[in-house]
Homo-oligomer: A and B are copies of this chain.
Amino acid sequence: MSLLVVGSLALDIIETPFATLEQALGGSATFISLAASYFNPTKLGVVGVVGDDFPERAWDLFRDRAIDTSGIEIVPGGKTFSWHGRYHYDMNTRDTIATNLNVFADFKPRVPKHFKSPDFLVLGNIQPDLQREVIEQLEKRPRLIVLDTMNFWITGFRDSLEQTLKLSNALIVNDSEARLLIEHPSLIVAGRRLQEMLADDEQRIVIIKKGEHGALLFYNEHIFSAPAFPLEEIFDPTGAGDTFMGGFIGYLARRGAVSYEDAKRAVIYGTVLASYCCAKFSTEGIEDLSMEQLLERSQALRALCSFELEEGELLETLR
């Protein structure tokens, strides 16, 4: 089935304790579409904006991975959006040194004619009004609309965000964003209440990403707890959350179905892709993975959390 990704395209400056990379290919739409491309949806397109400094190697990469870039507006003489971040020693926390919106400041998403009926839609982390403008341009309601957001929109654009949530079927946020949205210490309560903020459709899906602690999937009345892949070293976590989202929606778009079992597997594939994203700078970790690499880590995740109960024995044992 077809998948449309809307979000940022960026040339970032990434500082980690180990190295610094300038002109690092980044942005939510970049990571989401690259990750989703592994599942080979019928059609995979990106809507976003860049300056004419957006490098040839990025266009090549999109072409190689069969990502339709006709929805990416190129502003002549403009500069591409740029985030400058610095990671702390523990790689779990980071500071934003600068955010240069550049051409992104005046971004008005325009969905190309041949992408106005996508089966699946991902709205990366952009202003919630813009997210709704994308939905309004569509000619039919997608099978699933998946949303990301961030602290800046949660605190400053709450009403608009709630309107966008009411039009969406799935929300993917990290734990601090979930707590900020719901103001309750329990992530279980937060997940449940976030589900209620979504459209009253067949599925109400909330995923709370917890970094090294894995992710919680709330699917209608079900809860699935996915482990993180056990990494000894994190090289650059930039884009890991978007990569997770891309793997999640990419699998569902290929599958063309969104049962609870599908959604659990989608979380696992998202986790696997995110683990590869963290192992190299920028998009380098997810540019050229093999089928075997994805299968191997999926199986490793399964082994990591599987166990057998011996209920008969327990019944005899307990007092």
How many whole Å from A292's CB to the nearest CB in chain B? 9
What number of copies of this chain does the assembly contain?
A: 2
* Bound form: Cα–Cα A305–B189 in Å: 18
Interface size class on chain A is: 35 or more
Q: Which residues of B contact A318 (CB under 8 A)?
A: 38-40, 291, 294
Q: Is A18 part of the contact surface with B, judged by Cβ < 8 Å?
A: no
How many whole Å from A271's CB to the nearest CB in chain B? 11
Q: Is the CB of B91 within 8 A of A232?
A: no
How many whole Å from A132's CB to the nearest CB in chain B? 31
Q: Is the CB of B231 within 8 A of A225?
A: no
Interface centre among A37, A307, A310 (most CB of B within 10 A): A307
Which residue in chain B gives the minimum CB-CB distance to A318? B291
Interface centre among A66, A187, A225, A298 (most CB of B within 10 A): A225
Q: Is A210 part of the contact surface with B, judged by Cβ < 8 Å?
A: yes
Q: Which residues of B contact A108 (CB under 8 A)?
A: none
Instruction: Give the contacting residue for A317; candidates B40, B91, B213, B311; CB below 8 A.
Output: B40
Which residues of A (206-234) have their CB < 8 Å from a CB of B?
210, 212-214, 216, 223-228, 230-234
How many whole Å from A240's CB to the nearest CB in chain B? 15
Q: Is the CB of B319 within 8 A of A66?
A: yes
Q: A186-B232, A265-B307 are in contact. Are A225 and B224 (CB under 8 A)?
A: no
Which residue in chain B gives the minimum CB-CB distance to A192? B232
Q: Is the CB of A295 within 8 A of B315?
A: yes
Which residue in chain B gives the minimum CB-CB distance to A187? B212
Q: Is A204 part of the contact surface with B, judged by Cβ < 8 Å?
A: no
Instruction: Give the contacting residue for A302; candidates B187, B223, B233, B309; CB below 8 A.
Output: B309
Instruction: Give the contacting residue for A185; candidates B89, B295, B304; CB below 8 A.
Output: B89
Q: Is the CB of A305 within 8 A of B305?
A: yes
Interface readout for A74-118 with B: 1 if CB under 8 Å, 0 if not? 000000000000000111100000000000000000000000000
Given contacts A269-B314, A294-B318, 20 further A-B contacts (CB under 8 A): A38-B319, A40-B318, A92-B185, A188-B230, A188-B232, A189-B232, A210-B213, A214-B225, A223-B304, A224-B304, A226-B307, A227-B305, A254-B317, A261-B308, A265-B307, A295-B314, A298-B309, A298-B314, A299-B309, A306-B306
